[in-house]
Amino acid sequence: MVDRDLVLYDSNIIMEYLDERFPHPPLHPMDPVSRARARMMVHRIDQDWYSLVDEIERVPDKKAAKPRKMLRESLISAIPVFAAKQFFLSDEFSLVDCVLGPLLWRLPMLGIELPKQAEPIKSYASRLFEREGFQQSLSEQEREYTSLIDPSTH
């Protein structure tokens, strides 16, 4: 991302910069403890889930079965977290949601189908996908992905 004389890369750095540059509404919690927790969650999502996404995209389809299964099972194990609040670990939309949205949007493209008991994940994803900012952030190619959410439910 280029902003005046500043050139940034790495999505997390860009998101934090944008949150500081355009602070209303804030995407990070205001208190330091909650902000640190959110940063740790973003780190965990990157390490635990996006590393599997990278592996799925990098290896031949037959070898992608294992990371695909691991990601699916890990998401399923997090169903209680998705169900607990309106957004991920929060009642307010945050940078954690900004990190999760693209991952959930890409699940069908990655060959990951969630079971019926994953309705809390699908409801959460629907709340994210319906946001105007999320829709505006999609590239033309991303708009063509089959959504995790059944369009007939909108």
55-105 pLDDT, tens digit per residue, is 999 999 889 999 999 999 999 999 999 999 999 988 889 989 999 999 999
Does residue 37 carry a pLDDT above 60?
yes
- The pLDDT of 46-56, averaged and rounded, is 96
- The pLDDT of 98-116, averaged and rounded, is 94
Q: Which residue has the higher pLDDT, 146 or 130?
A: 130
Q: Largest Cα–Cα distance of the chain, in whole Å?
A: 49
How far CA 133 is from CA of 82, 98, 137, in Å, comes to: 21, 10, 6
pTM of the predicted structure, to 2 decimals: 0.83
Domains present along the chain, CATH in parentheses = 29-153 (1.20.1050.10)
Q: Are 99 and 28 in contact (CB under 8 A)?
A: no
- The pLDDT of 29-52, averaged and rounded, is 91
Helix (H, G, I), strand (E, B) or coil at 94: coil
